[in-house]
Structure 1
């Protein structure tokens, strides 16, 4: 058994790196902390999401190692949120982000009751905001 202390980062594959980074900056306040370029073109950026990091890969970027089958829009990421559900819904609405489901009753990884709101990024990746009450 390998001991795990937590997640460091998660990687997603996107069709347009600039569009994806703009979305994550607008919705989450994500800031670029690392950029990898090939021949002067950005092909990967790491951005902050709270205390975690999201690694955003341009599709077909040629960076290795990578997922065996990197696919645009295949990710499903759940993030915990400190806002109330009502405030979260208001903020998503003000940003023009369409809610695809929720709020829906869920349980956190710790077993706490929560409410989740689901929406998608520009590439179709499913994002879940989990609110504990």
Structure 2
């Protein structure tokens, strides 16, 4: 039997401005900024939520090893939430964040979802979804 994967531990997001990214994901999306220092490395930043984290690399100053062609603004991320989308829309409006599309029905990894779409400071596409 071939080996199998069970979950995603973290992903790396290349960003143009770490401080702006930390503020957006903390203040708008409710993630928790976390500083960490890998063994023998330099201090880095991550964003935690649930059992996951997003490590941040500043464009042009990525940590090795890295993606072959890291680019700020090239990600398309979907986050699941138990909070109703109308509450998200109200929160986004308070922060001046435009909802580009939605609510719209989509298909997630575990079945149907209802989604809204917005952008982070680098223009990454952010999808916030409720399972339906």
Q: Give the Cα separation in 2 of the matches to 1:19 and 1:119.
A: 16
**Counterpart mapping for 1:1-133 below 5 A:** 1-36=2-37, 44-111=44-111, 113-133=112-132
Q: Give the Cα separation in 2 of the matches to 1:63 and 1:17.
A: 14
How far off is 1:30 after superposition? 1.9
- Secondary structure of the equivalent of 1:86? helix
CA RMSD of aligned residues (A): 1.8
TM-score of the two chains, using structure 2 as the length reference:
0.88
Instruction: Encode CA deviations 1:60-104: one digit per residue, 9 max, x unaligned.
Output: 114100000000100011000111121121111112111111111
Task: Say if 1:64 and 1:26 are closer, same or farther in 2 by CA, change over 3 A.
Answer: same
Q: Which runs of 5+ in 1 are unaligned?
A: none
Task: Say if 1:62 and 1:13 are closer, same or farther in 2 by CA, change over 3 A.
Answer: closer
CA contact (8 A) 1:28 1:49 kept: no
TM-score of the two chains, using structure 1 as the length reference:
0.87
Q: Which has the higher strand share?
A: 1
